[in-house]
Amino acid sequence: MKLALINGPNLNLLGMREPETYGSTTLGDIEQTLTGLANEKGVSLETIQSNAEHVIVDYIHNGITDLSGILINPGAFTHTSVAIRDALLGTNIPFVEIHISNVYARETFRHHSYLSDIASGIIVGCGIKGYEYGLLALINTVNNIKK
Ligand code: DQA
């Protein structure tokens, strides 16, 4: 089973970006932890980060051939991107949406997500641990679909 971890804009700055909101762990550390967890669970994990919407859309399209599921932190595209929503709808790849911060306790423009209503699960406000919870939830979802 091949899964993907997609991180959207500005998440490459984790570790130095607004540490009071996002903590001090880098994206590299998160990707390493998740790859280890995926391996423990016997699945392979591809990681990608992009600040460009079309790169994320193209990546999801290419996933049609080999991705069983996606864990995605869309960053600010959460609140703006009909294009990423349509890519996920169009490919029908199951996905879990994750946010490090509790977006519902922040500015109102962060309360709306273009992805949440079509996600198989959502993890919000659990800090970077949310990536691990999200991966476990995704593996569980994909295994249930296969049954
Ligand atoms: C975020 C929340 C978004 O509102 C924000 O634009 C981000 C990060 C989070 O992980 O909490 O870039 O997705």
pLDDT, tens digit, for every residue of 37-59?
999 999 999 999 999 999 999 99
Amino acid at 49: Q
pLDDT band at 4 (very low <50, low <70, confident <90, very high): very high
Query: Could you tell me if 5 and 45 are in contact, meaning their C-beta atoms sit under 8 angstroms apart?
Result: yes
CB 137 within 8 A of CB 122: no
Q: Mark whether 22 is an active-site residue.
A: yes
**Probe target for ligand 1 pocket from 100, 115, 131, with the most ligand atoms within 8 Å of CB:** 100
Give the residue-averaged pLDDT of 119-125.
98
**Site residues for ligand 1, CB cut-off 6 Å:** 10, 73, 75-76, 78, 99-101, 103, 110
Q: Note the pLDDT tens digit of each residue in 25-39.
A: 999 999 999 999 999
8 Å CB contact between 98 and 71? yes
**Whole-angstrom distance, CA of residue 111 vs CA of residue 144:** 29
d(Cα 147, Cα 116) in Å, to the nearest integer?
A: 24
Residue whose token pair is 């959502």? 122
Alpha carbon of 48 to ligand 1 centroid (Å): 16
Distance 146 CA to ligand 1 centre (A): 31
Give distance in angstroms: CA of 7 to centre of ligand 1.
10
Residue 2: other Cβ atoms inside 10 A: 14
Choosing from 54, 61, 99, 133, which is the catalytic residue? Answer: 99
Do 99 and 123 contact (CB within 8 A), yes or no? yes
Residue linked to tokens 């703006």: 80
In the numeric block, which tokens belong to residue 65? 């051939």
Whether 59 is catalytic is: no
Query: Is residue 121 helix, strand or coil?
Result: strand
Distance from the CA of 43 to the center of ligand 1, in angstroms?
Answer: 26
- Please check the confidence at residue 92 and state whether its pLDDT lies above 70: yes
